[in-house]
Amino acid sequence: MIDFGFSTCIPHDKKIKLFCGTPSYMAPEIVAKVEYSGPPADIWALGVLMFALLCGKFPFKGANDKELYNAIRFNELQFPDHVSPPARFFL
């Protein structure tokens, strides 16, 4: 389900500034190219996966990588009507 080609173990208290990953799964801090902590970025990617499984599409899209990264950073998450309030809260 996910490519672990770039996976690594980073201590929770260490910040990194590594730009890598599958674009649709990248957290806002990764696409902003700022230092970030690995575990929250992993939780973001899990949320993207769960959104895709629940909704049948990715939460953010763009015509190219630049548009996708801007959508990840600045767009508000939009849920399809069939997603229940508890599922929205969970995601």
Alpha-carbon distances, residue 57 vs 7, 18, 79, 82 (angstroms): 24, 26, 10, 13
Whole domain around residue 45: which residue ranges? 22-90
Q: Is residue 17 part of a domain?
A: no
Global confidence as pTM:
0.83
Query: What pLDDT score does 16 carry?
Result: 78
Q: Is residue 27 part of a domain?
A: yes
Q: Is residue 12 part of a domain?
A: no
Q: Is residue 64 part of a domain?
A: yes
Q: Is residue 4 part of a domain?
A: no
Q: What is the CATH classification number for the domain harbouring 40?
A: 1.10.510.10
Number of domains in the chain: 1
Q: Is residue 34 part of a domain?
A: yes
Please identify every stretch of the chain with a pLDDT value under 50, giving residue numbers as ranges.
none
Query: What pLDDT score does 64 carry?
Result: 96
Q: Is residue 75 part of a domain?
A: yes
Query: What pLDDT score does 55 carry?
Result: 95
Query: What pLDDT score does 15 carry?
Result: 83
Cβ(64)–Cβ(74) below 8 Å: no
Query: What pLDDT score does 3 carry?
Result: 62
